[in-house]
Amino acid sequence: MGTPEVAAPSPLLRQPLLSDEDTVRSHDRSRVHDARDQHKRWYLLWLLVGPGILAMLGENDGPSMIAYASDGAQYGLGFFVPFIPILFLMAYVCQEMCMRVGAVTHRGYGELVLQRYGSVWGWFGAGDLCLTNLVTLIAEFIAIRVGLAYFHLGAGVAVALGFVLVLFTLSGGRYWRWERTVLGLALFNGLFLLAAILVKPHIASIASSFSFTPLPHGGFNTLLLLLASTIGATVTPWMIFFQQSASADKGMTPEDVRHGRYDTAIGAVIAAIFGIGALVAGAALLTHGGSGIQGFAGAGFPEALRRVAGSSAGTVFALGLIEAGAVAILTISASTAYAAGECIGVSHSFNTSPRSAAVFYAANIGVALLAGMVILIPGAPLLSIALNANVLATVLLPVSLVFMLMLANDRGLMGRWANRPSTNVVGIAVITFVSVCGAAYGVDSFLQAIHVIGS
Amino acid sequence: MSGHSSVHDAGRTPRHAMPEQLPVEPPEEQELIAYLEPDQLVAETFRPVTRAILTRNAAVVLWALRVFVVLVSLMVIYTFVVRLH
């Protein structure tokens, strides 16, 4: 693949040299160059963080935090406290490649797969992503609804809140504004850490849980399902699409790869800490009937926490769920919009106006609106949809990871920024592990559905 | 490094030279454009990259992916529909 990779010049080059998108991006880049020239290290870091933290904290979404809390309520802290950081370490390995490909090629994941490996794979990825994202977004609205129920507010408020947030963040016409707004909101993911503090856990029990014992009780199938669903959901298809496209949209270049790694690592660390916070908060219910609280069936989680640990813990946990769902709605809608724009071949940037990037904005708003409308349908099987969101992702996840690895190894695109052999060893191991776990989860769910194995 | 235009040179200064095919631009645009990589311009990103020439191993991996996608899709769709009911 060492041949020139760019086709003949397009007539587009004869249009005005700088588009509005270029102008906005160059202003952002000028600040980066100035900070770098003046050796303002912290300011440079501040300018360049964003996509990595958003991808990681976006993955700490409503369903994930409820899952962590459920794990704590059912199994306690043992095993999961050391397990969660390992999951995010694996997520870092995958997301770093996305960031690097985006920064070097200035192109999103969807368009590169489509152009480099053919329209079948490109459209399959985008189509499956849109379906998976829609189902996941429904789960996010349900998470907001669960949080709002603690304050005696209904589904209509949940939909309105999510939709207004999407419209508000899109209103600036700049990637920078969108990113900073969502980052500001995402920091409230720390509410789960506050909830963990409020339940007054025994520090000694948290420290002792780092021994990876005891293993979660239950049968082998239960254990497999638990591990596979958790691991398979750690790196999700939307994160891959999102971080590569957002890195390109932010205007990152190879010079910024080092800071992109910091960004991704910071995101992984704080997401792991906040995830453990949800786990610790949930573990407060372990000896108070917590085993009966599973997934979204435990919609009364904040209420249960209030009874055990006081109203402050319940309130903070409910607010955390609202935040987790809201941030995920924004990032997942964005990944859908990027994928739609890239595959259709039209403008796909927050740095453009809605008039110039109608498909991008319509996809962003449309998928959020559609998901919100679903949860307003009386009698819709919301619980089933929410619980099965990860099953759908099992198809796309291995495909996404394999293409990501191929892109990161593509020397025609990446040049000297392509994966090193050592990166490939780690990357292939992680991707194989995550893919097998994701596929195992899908196969296990199928075998349960046809009653070959018990649930 | 392959030397094509979408591969970046980490040692380049911000005020890099413009690609030859681009027209002469007004001074204010010159100032702005200097902050962007040549292949970072919107017009440039709309130029599609060429199809990859796959190695034998890569082709085998993609065929394995096709089989995987068909099999797992059938299982996942069945599971999803059953669980919805």
pLDDT at A217: 66
Query: Which of A176-185, A280-289, A432-441, B1-10 ranks highest by mean pLDDT?
Result: A176-185
pLDDT higher than threshold 50 for residue A9: no
pLDDT confidence band for A209 (50 / 70 / 90): confident
C-beta of residue A326 within 8 angstroms of C-beta of residue A338: no
A112 and B1 within 8 Å at the Cβ level: the answer is: no
Specify the pLDDT at position B8.
39
The predicted complex's ipTM stands at: 0.75
pLDDT tens digits for range A59-112: 999 888 988 888 888 888 888 888 899 999 999 999 999 999 999 999 999 999
Whether A223 shows a pLDDT value over 80: the answer reads no
Q: Do A19 and B1 touch (CB under 8 A)?
A: no
- Residues A118-144 have a mean pLDDT of 88
Enumerate the H helices of A150-216 as residue ranges.
Answer: 155-170, 175-186, 191-198, 203-208
Out of B6, B25, B58, the one facing A413 most closely (by C-beta) is B6
Task: pLDDT band for B69, please (50, 70, 90 cuts).
Answer: confident
User: Does B1 contact chain A (CB < 8 Å)?
Assistant: yes
Length of chain A: 455
The CATH number corresponding to A59-249+268-449 among 1.10.167.10, 1.10.287.1080, 1.20.1740.10, 3.40.630.30 equals: 1.20.1740.10
What's chain A's average pLDDT? 87
Map chain B to HEC letters.
CCCCCCCCCCCCCCCCCCCCCCCCCCHHHHHHHCCCCHHHCHHHHCCCECCCCCCHHHHHHHHHHHHHHHHHHHHHHHHHHHHHC
What average pLDDT does range A18-29 have in this prediction? 91
Helix (H) or strand (E) holding A417: none
A6: nearest CB among B4, B79, B85: B4
pLDDT category at A288 given cuts 50, 70, 90 is low
Cα–Cα distance, A424 to A234 (Å, whole number): 19
Instruction: Test B39 with A106 for CB contact under 8 angstroms.
Output: yes
Q: Where are the domains of chain A?
A: 59-249+268-449
Interchain contact, B49 vs A6, CB within 8 Å? yes
Say if A421 is an interface residue toward chain B (CB within 8 Å).
no
The residue that leads in pLDDT, A2 or A188, is A188
Q: Model pTM?
A: 0.87
* B10 to chain A, closest Cα gap in Å: 6
Q: Give which of B5, B8, B46, B82 to mutate to test A binding, by max A Cβ within 10 Å.
A: B8
Q: Record the tokens describing residue A34, joined without a space.
A: 């100035």
Cβ within 8 Å, pair A6-B84: no
Residue A4 pLDDT exceeds 50: no
**Residues on chain B touching A392 (C-beta within 8 angstroms):** 76, 80
Give B18's pLDDT tier (boundaries 50, 70, 90): very low
Quick one: tokens of A262? 């910091």
Domain ranges in chain B are 11-49, 53-85
Nearest to B10 among A9, A255, A446 (CB): A255
- Model pLDDT for residues B22-60, shown as the tens digit of each residue: 455 666 677 778 899 988 999 888 888 999 988 898 889
pLDDT at A45 over 90: yes
Between residues A249 and A395, the one the model is more confident about:
A249
Collapsing DSSP to helix, strand or coil, A334 comes out as: helix
Tell me: pLDDT of B12 over 50.
Answer: no
Concatenated DSSP letters of A352-382: S-TTTTHHHHHHHHHHHHHHHHHTTSTT--H
pLDDT band at A221 (very low <50, low <70, confident <90, very high): low
pLDDT at A450: 84
Q: pLDDT class for B15, splitting at 50, 70, 90?
A: very low
Cβ-based contacts under 8 A for chains A and B: 194
The pLDDT score that the predictor gives to residue A49 is: 97
Residue A5, pLDDT > 70, answer no
- B16 contact A CB<8A: no
Interface test with A, best of B39, B40, B61 (most A CBs within 10 A): B40
Best A14, A23, A26 member to test B by mutation, with max B CBs in 10 Å, is A26
- Return d(Cα A253, Cα A105) in angstroms, integer: 8
| Total residue length of chain B | 85
Where residue A236 falls among pLDDT bands split at 50, 70, 90? Answer: confident
- Dihedral angle sign, alpha carbons of residues A1, A103, A124, B76: positive
Separation between Cα atoms, residue B71 and residue B85, nearest integer Å: 22
Burial A390-427 (b: 16+ CB within 10 A, else e): bbbbbbbbbbbbbbbbbbbbbbbbbbebbbeeebeeeb
Tell me: the pLDDT tens digits for A111-121?
999 999 988 88
Residue in chain A closest to B78 (alpha carbons) equals A446
pLDDT the model gives residue A276: 94
- Check CB contact of B58 with chain A, cutoff 8 Å: yes
Residue A222 pLDDT: 67
Specify the pLDDT at position A192.
Answer: 97
Distance from CA of A1 to the nearest CA of B (A): 6
Q: What is the rounded distance in angstroms from the CA atom of residue A146 to the CA atom of residue A64?
A: 14
pLDDT top residue among A345 and B80: A345
Q: Which residues of A touch B58 (CB under 8 A)?
A: 406
| A383 lies within 8 A of chain B by CB | no
Beta bridge partners, A6, equal B49
